[in-house]
Amino acid sequence: MARRKIVAGNWKMNKTPSETVQFLKELKPLVETDEADVILCVPSISIMAAMKETEGSNINIGAQCMYFEEKGAYTGEISPVMLEDAGVKYVIIGHSERRQYFAVTDEIVNKKTLKAFEHNIVPIICVGESLTQREQGITIEYIRQQVKIAFLGVSAEQAKRAVIAYEPIWAIGTGKVATTAQAEEVCKAIRDCIAELYDCDTAEAIRILYGGSVTVSSAPELFAEPDIDGGLVGGASLVPDFGKIVHYNK
């Protein structure tokens, strides 16, 4: 069975709650499609307003981060229980910006991944190499390690529902998109790694996205690759053009 594409937006720390509602009103008709899952990961403070505004539409609202404990003295964090109660179905885990600025490690990514599944939230697990790692020729080795640690203790049934986003750090917010061949090479290596960890069925089911300076013009070629099941879009998800990325095959 063909995997269903995902076009996901990561707004990062952009848009106030009122800007969110205003923008979603504009965006809703532009992203209507039966052909892909559309997900927007908005700042925590806007999740509730975004869920309300997108009710009855095909936009799924996701979170950008989540802690791995259910409740307690963790000032500032939001928990999987809170997301589940709010009806949130997706959460980005291990984005390179969280790894870089907020000390998220591979082990923490694993804990969060396990917790997300426990609460029926699909993790969008981010992996990606730095420019130095690419230049040293250790990209695949490094990504395989990130994937292996992220999936420790995750069952095959859970892994089939997971989403992995390959986001080369050097391509994020730089306007420097990976070539289609570079993106496909790593996404295929990730699928092969999942096949090794689980089996071919799981590898065929899991959805792997590319992220890093995806635009209206680069999306069609990237998303046509056999192992790229869509994109995780940063900057271009903040503007109405995101609708054109959702309709990349039109």
| Stretch of residues binding ligand 13P (CB under 6 A), selected from 102-110, 113-121, 143-151, 234-242 | 234-242
89 to 118, contacts with ligand 13P by CB under 6 A?
Answer: 95
Q: Is 232 an interacting residue with respect to ligand 13P (CB under 6 A)?
A: yes
Compute the Cα dihedral for 38, 164, 121, 13 and give only its sign: negative
Taking the complex as a whole, how short is the minimal distance between the CB of residue 233 and ligand 13P, in angstroms? 5
Question: Mind telling me the catalytic residues?
Answer: 95, 167
Q: Is 176 an interacting residue with respect to ligand 13P (CB under 6 A)?
A: no
C-beta closer to ligand 13P: residue 154 or 233: 233
Contact residues for 47 (Cβ-Cβ < 8 A; gap 6+)? 61, 63, 83, 86, 88
Token reading at 30: 């532009």
CB-count burial class (<10 Å; 0-12, 13-18, 19+) for 64: buried
Asked if residue 92 lies in contact with residue 60, where contact means CB atoms within 8 angstroms, the answer is no
| Residue from 39, 61, 114, 172 in contact with ligand 13P (CB under 6 A) | 172
Taking the complex as a whole, how short is the minimal distance between the CB of residue 95 and ligand 13P, in angstroms? 6
| Residue from 94, 230, 235, 243 in contact with ligand 13P (CB under 6 A) | 235
Whole-angstrom Cα distance, residue 248 to residue 250? 6
Taking the complex as a whole, how short is the minimal distance between the CB of residue 196 and ligand 13P, in angstroms? 26
Whole-angstrom Cα distance, residue 247 to residue 51? 22
Q: Is 213 an interacting residue with respect to ligand 13P (CB under 6 A)?
A: yes
Whole-angstrom Cα distance, residue 82 to residue 119? 10
Q: Is 246 an interacting residue with respect to ligand 13P (CB under 6 A)?
A: no
Q: Is 167 an interacting residue with respect to ligand 13P (CB under 6 A)?
A: yes
Contact residues for 139 (Cβ-Cβ < 8 A; gap 6+)? 129, 133, 168, 186
| Residue from 62, 212, 230, 243 in contact with ligand 13P (CB under 6 A) | 212
C-beta closer to ligand 13P: residue 150 or 214: 214
Token reading at 124: 């969008």
| Stretch of residues binding ligand 13P (CB under 6 A), selected from 27-35, 72-80, 115-123, 211-219 | 211-219
Tell me the sheet residues that pair with 210. Answer: 166, 231
* Nearest Cα residue to 211 out of 109, 108, 127: 127
C-beta closer to ligand 13P: residue 190 or 198: 190
C-beta closer to ligand 13P: residue 195 or 220: 220
Binding region for ligand 13P (CB under 6 A): 10, 95, 167, 172-173, 211-214, 232-236
